[in-house]
Structure 1
Amino acid sequence: MNDPRPTGRIDKWLWQARFFKTRGLATRLVGDGHVRVNGARVVKPASAIGAGDVLTFVQGDRIRVIRVTALGIRRGPAPEAQTLYEDLTPPETEAAPVTRTGPRPTKKDRRALDDLRGEGGVHDPE
């Protein structure tokens, strides 16, 4: 006879894995429909997840893609929480640094630019 796969609540797991500071925040995110499990939108915080499920959700300004590797027993320290998942989020690409084409503009240069843009301030052009 097959034993059923062990599962747990999605809101509790997100909190235990330290993706959210409080369980209430995790519950609100799931309840608002901002979490997907294996591509399907979930709106119930009590939805069951288990090892092998892939979660997609927004955290801050990033979209996170996480594969559940284990269920948590408690909300432990960060190294313990990191053993609960595998991060599948693609790495962020950094913007190229802005390079200067010439020397830094002087105050006189900035005033001339302001005059060209029509952003004249309180200065006397000489």
Structure 2
Amino acid sequence: MWHARVVKARSSAAELVVTGHVRINGTRETSPGHAIKLGDVITVALDRTVRVLKVTGFNERRGDATSARVLYEELGDAKRN
């Protein structure tokens, strides 16, 4: 999530996972080091929204916002109640 610029810091990404705000292919993930693969669908509860992202690529380094955008496909964005 940090490489794809979904969050600003690695620690923020880890905290989201540990606190149960991340699902991978519909299953709640609690391990920040869990490996993902191409085609995985990641659901992230951020602030007051839920983002659903399909993994479409990987980068060795964190790049700018434009290069990060090609790492995932936005599948949905729903308001949380």
- One fold, TM greater than 0.5? yes
* Change in CA separation of 1:41 and 1:91 when aligned onto 2, cut-off 3 Å: closer
TM-score norm. by structure 2 comes to 0.91
Q: How many pairs does the alignment contain?
A: 79
Kindly provide the CA deviation profile for residues 51-97 of structure 1, in whole angstroms up to 9, marking residues without a partner as x.
100000112211000000012211110000000000001477xxxxx
Q: Extract structure 1 runs of 4+ deviating beyond 4 A.
A: none
**1:68 aligned to 52, 55, 61, which one?**
55
Instruction: Considering fraction of residues, name the structure with more helix.
Output: 1
Question: Can you give the 5+ residue segments of structure 2 that lack an aligned partner in the other structure?
Answer: none
Aligned to 1:45, the other structure's residue is in SS state coil
Larger strand percent:
2
| Mapped partners of 1:29, 1:72: distance in 2 | 21
Across the aligned residues of Structure 1 and Structure 2, the Cα RMSD in angstroms comes to: 1.4
Aligned pair partner of 2:67 in 65, 72, 80: 80
- Structure 1 unaligned segments of length 5 or more: list them: 1-13, 93-126
Between structure 1 and structure 2, the one with the greater Rg is 1
Q: Between the two proteins, what is the percent identity of the paired residues?
A: 44
